[in-house]
Amino acid sequence: MLRLSRFSLHLPRAVAFMPGLPAFDEFPVKVWTRLLTVQAHRMQPDMAGYNFHLGGYGPLREALTSYLRSSRKVVCDPDQVFIVSSTRAGLDIICRLLCDPGSAVLMEDPGYNPAKNVMRAAGLNIVPVPLDADGLRIDLAERSDPTARLVYVTPSHQWPTGVSLSVRRRQQLLDWAERRSAWVVEDDYDSEFRFDGRPLPTLQGIDGGRHVIYLGTFSKVMFPSLRTAYVVVPRSLAPAFREAVPYAGQEPPMHIQAALAEFIHQGHFFSHIRRMRRLYKRRQALFTDAMIRHLGDGIPVDRPAGGMQLSLVLPGVCPATAVSLSAGAAGLYAKPFSISALTNAVPNALHLGFAAVPERLIDPSAKTLASIILATR
Ligand SMILES: Cc1ncc(COP(=O)(O)O)c(C=O)c1O
């Protein structure tokens, strides 16, 4: 039985500075609604009925395949791509297909809370793995649980620390998977937003798609309420997924899938990503400059190489949970790392999103947050 008291739901209260939100104010609403309207008018059986597009709308799976091959070096064909209603839904299907209840799964600590909840709900035994500046310490995991056959990671921008898994660690992780005949679940949720240089290669691409199950989402590049994500599975798992996705009832509406296919096909997707990359870089600079100005010298503010959020490590005398409570009372959202913790060994830090905050609100909101931090000491 699912015991909900074991899971926590953190309700959003403010766009500033909730992590994981894209820029709603800059979304190309006119283009999107035009495409959506055209698709919503299609009442043919394959658009309006059950199970005509097993695993997702064919043209969307094809469009995603070329996007992933060229932008992320993912090795796949359309029949390995499955459209699901969220990253969580994809992970849920993975856990239920590949793991027995009670089996061990490795996870970054701190890590993505909803993933933890999904894996717990599937009855898995989560083994926390610490991080350092190079990302997941897979060498420690080797010793802590030799039975684990699945690991969930966010290698591009570790959630919430923002660390990128180093090239050496990527290879170590894949070697681990090879030795153990294990699966690596690579959650690549916002890798599109790397500001300088090219994104790091995906684990899936390095591995050639043998041990890695790749998860992607439209929540960051488009917006979260679309409820559309995708799973790229190794060729050997494709038949099982083709059955499992409709079985789980986790498919997004067909007119949304078809509108997304057109959005990509007509080039809007790529131009939106390019525009948002520039915008997020600008918003990040405004936010970090404002925090540096308002916090003074005592608290360093890092500027990560990409992403839609950053982490702010606080001095020990200034508990992140206390700052978070006061920020909430002042109409701001400041998420403490402890929400993402599996053990108590997580940094005293805040996870702050800047991508969704309109420019005019960045400085006043940063000023309020900085004054709360300084007053909490
Ligand atoms: C690590 C991580 N994965 C995936 C997602 C997106 O999940 P979904 O596809 O359910 O919106 C997020 C959103 O914040 C995230 O932080």
pLDDT above 70 (res 11): no
The tokens for 7 are: 């899971």
CA 51/CA 251 separation, integer angstroms: 10
DSSP assignment of 104-122, as one string? EEEEESS--HHHHHHHHHT
Distance 215 CA to ligand 1 centre (A): 10
Tokens of 276: 């948002």
Arithmetic mean of pLDDT, 38-50: 96
For residue 154 and ligand 1, the question of a CB distance below 6 A is answered with yes
| pLDDT interval class at 232 (50, 70, 90) | very high
Q: Give, for ligand 1, the residue of 109, 112, 117, 154 to mutate: max count of ligand atoms closer than 8 Å to Cβ.
A: 112
In the DSSP assignment, the letter for residue 352 is E
* Predicted pLDDT at 200: 79
pLDDT bin (cut points 50, 70, 90) of residue 43 is: very high
Minimum-distance ligand 1 atom for the alpha carbon of 217: 9
Whether 135 lines ligand 1, by a CB cut-off of 6 Å, is no
CB 57 within 8 A of CB 223: no
Q: What's the rounded mean pLDDT across residues 101-108?
A: 96
Half-sphere exposure of 168 (CA within 13 A, CB side): 4
pLDDT score of 146 = 85
- 145 band by pLDDT with thresholds 50, 70 and 90: confident
Q: What is the pLDDT of residue 320?
A: 97
User: With a 6 A CB cut-off, is 199 part of the ligand 1 pocket?
Assistant: no
Contact 86 CB / ligand 1 (< 6 Å): yes
> pTM above 0.75?
yes
Q: Is 80 in the pocket of ligand 1 (CB under 6 A)?
A: no
Q: Measured between alpha carbons, how far is 371 from 334 in angstroms, rounded to an integer?
A: 13
Q: Which pLDDT belongs to residue 31?
A: 98
Tell me what pLDDT residue 9 has. 58
Confidence of residue 196 (pLDDT cuts 50, 70, 90): confident
State the pLDDT at residue 42: 96
